[in-house]
Amino acid sequence: MDALLSPEAIEWREKARDLAERVVRPLAAKYDRAQEYPWEIRDALAEAGMFGVWIPKEYGGAGGGVMELCLVVEQLSRACGGVGVLFAVNALGSFPILLAGTEEQKQKYLPPIAKGEKLIAFALSERPAGSDASGLVTNAHQDGDHWVLNGSKKWNTNGGAADIYSVFAVTDPTSKSRRISALIAEKGDEGFEIGRTEDKMGIRCVPVVELHFNDCRLPADRLLGGKPGLGFKHAMMTLDRARPGVAAQALGLATGALELATVYATDRVQFGQPISSFQMIQAMLADMASSVEAGRQLIYAAARACDAGDRSLTKMAAMSKLYATEMAMKVTTDAVQIFGGYGYMKDYPIEKYMRDAKITQIYEGTNQVQRLVIARQLIKEAGSLDHLRAFIPLPDHPNTLEDLARAEAEQAETPVS
Ligand code: CAA
């Protein structure tokens, strides 16, 4: 479906694919085992200009959007899901600045991110606030021309490796809708410490850590956009644009697993023939390929909606994340099944795809949260379907067979005048 992509987008995809095959795939198992940040891969991505793909040209980027971001993430994840998120999380961290930062904040923070000189992370979740993001308790108060930040963040992807952090904190505990603001913290700020590093099932090459802020004093100009109270809205707007990226990570994992399983099936001989000649394996491959392609088209549609600022973008982003990540979990599990006993072993590359896929159903909003977001949007949209009410019996009309029988009986008892 290249006809639907711009020449620039295709160029980014091909560049990412080349880098993924040349640099990422040969190193994927090594960094997965070591659970270490692959700085050599970061360097290769920076050299290829990849970190600027979603950043506008006026801030040193390549001027692409969510579409180009997704194409690059898909290709990187095809070789390593950890590298896919190691890259994409910089978009998640920088979207708040892009969407809501002051001109000075954009000029200061975006160019070094675009060059890959500085990495960024997104600090929203806390121990008591995972799905219930607005329940966060990290707080900041003004003291002269500083904000004083206190609290801890949990599950911070890229933490420790990153130089810049978009941090969400309560700045007005008395307000219902303007409670939270976003602040920009930098590595080295006094009172800011990186806490424990998690030992993870998958995406092991990218760190996930706790962050601690202990009377961390941030200059007033670190308040995102210079206005307090808009943090939750900006976090939600950010997630709308980042969720297709998680979907693309899932898509890349599913694509990579399908390719490996197909090659394995054509080589593996049982009962005197390649297992790809058995219809049960063929049916699995056909179902896997069909769902991968369905996921791809939904993600690209969601990315286009985000880039066009279409009103459907919240729903489309959530749908793409929900569908693609459920699909990736199934496809990567089926790929392990096709590899059989070998697939379960760490010597083979396939089990890592399944481990890496699992987190895509959880982070940037669990798939339960995506369903909630989709359903809320559907219910909002029901307002435009008023004409259908004429065709739907209301609750006080007969609407079950029992009601109907009762109504008919009552009618039969009514004397004809
Ligand atoms: N765009 C703009 N504004 C939005 C919005 C959107 N998509 N969604 C909600 N808002 C606004 C609402 O309009 C409302 O504004 P007002 O108060 O002015 O009316 C406000 O935000 C509150 O909205 P809700 O009442 O819908 O909020 P809620 O408390 O019910 O939460 C939720 C909704 C969808 C469950 C949300 O909390 C959510 O998305 N939770 C999941 C959090 C999440 O995805 N965390 C991921 C962390 S990052 C991560 O995982 C990174 C990583 O490791 C890689």
Q: Per-residue pLDDT tens for 31-83?
A: 999 999 999 999 999 999 999 999 999 999 999 999 999 999 999 999 999 99
- Flag whether pLDDT at 328 surpasses 70: yes
Q: Please state, rounded to an integer, the average pLDDT across all residues of the chain.
A: 96
pLDDT band at 412 (very low <50, low <70, confident <90, very high): confident
Region 350-370: what's the mean pLDDT? 98
Q: Residue 277: helix, strand or coil by DSSP?
A: helix
Give me 24's structure tokens: 């990422």
User: CB of 89 closer than 6 A to ligand 1?
Assistant: yes
Distance 136 CA to ligand 1 centre (A): 12
pLDDT band at 3 (very low <50, low <70, confident <90, very high): confident
What long-range pairs does 195-202 form, CB within 8 A, spacing at least 24? Answer: 195/152, 197/160, 198/155, 199/35, 200/35, 200/359, 201/355, 201/358, 201/359, 202/81, 202/82, 202/352, 202/355, 202/356, 202/357, 202/358, 202/359
Kindly list the catalytic residues. 364
Q: Residue 302: helix, strand or coil by DSSP?
A: helix
CA distance to 9, 10, 143, per residue, from 47 (Å): 18, 19, 41
pLDDT at 416: 62
CA distance to 158, 182, 206, 302, per residue, from 198 (Å): 11, 25, 10, 31
More confidently predicted of 14 and 400: 14
Residue 77, burial from CB neighbour count under 10 angstroms (0-12, 13-18, 19+): buried
pLDDT at 414: 76
pLDDT at 396: 65
- Which residue's C-alpha comes closest to atom 8 of ligand 1? 236
Q: What is the pLDDT of residues 106-158, one digit of tens each?
A: 999 999 999 999 999 999 999 999 999 999 999 999 999 999 999 999 999 99
With CA atoms as reference, report the closest residue to 81 among 151, 134, 1, 157.
Answer: 157
pLDDT band at 405 (very low <50, low <70, confident <90, very high): confident
Among 232, 366, 378, say which to mutate for ligand 1: greatest number of ligand atoms within 8 Å of CB: 232
Measured between alpha carbons, how far is 170 from 161 in angstroms, rounded to an integer? 25
- The number of the ligand 1 atom at minimal distance from the alpha carbon of 233 is 3
Q: Residue 155: helix, strand or coil by DSSP?
A: strand
More confidently predicted of 21 and 3: 21
Question: How many residues in the chain?
Answer: 417
The rounded percent of the chain whose pLDDT value lies above 90 is 91
Distance 244 CA to ligand 1 centre (A): 16
Q: What is the pLDDT of residues 90-105, one digit of tens each?
A: 999 999 999 999 999 9
pLDDT at 339: 98
Distance 390 CA to ligand 1 centre (A): 34
- Flag whether pLDDT at 397 surpasses 90: no
Q: Which amino acid is at 84?
A: G
- Flag whether pLDDT at 20 surpasses 80: yes
Q: What is the pLDDT of residues 207-259, one digit of tens each?
A: 999 999 999 999 999 999 999 999 999 999 999 999 999 999 999 999 999 99
Judged by average pLDDT, the poorest of 184-188, 200-204, 245-249, 409-413 is 409-413
pLDDT at 407: 75
pLDDT at 336: 98
Distance 235 CA to ligand 1 centre (A): 7
pLDDT at 78: 98
Among 236, 249, 313, 364, say which to mutate for ligand 1: greatest number of ligand atoms within 8 Å of CB: 236
Region 363-385: what's the mean pLDDT? 97
pTM: 0.94
Distance 365 CA to ligand 1 centre (A): 9
pLDDT at 1: 76
User: CB of 373 closer than 6 A to ligand 1?
Assistant: yes
User: CB of 240 closer than 6 A to ligand 1?
Assistant: yes
Judged by average pLDDT, the poorest of 45-54, 267-276, 391-400 is 391-400
- Which residue's C-alpha comes closest to atom 7 of ligand 1? 236
- Flag whether pLDDT at 398 surpasses 90: no
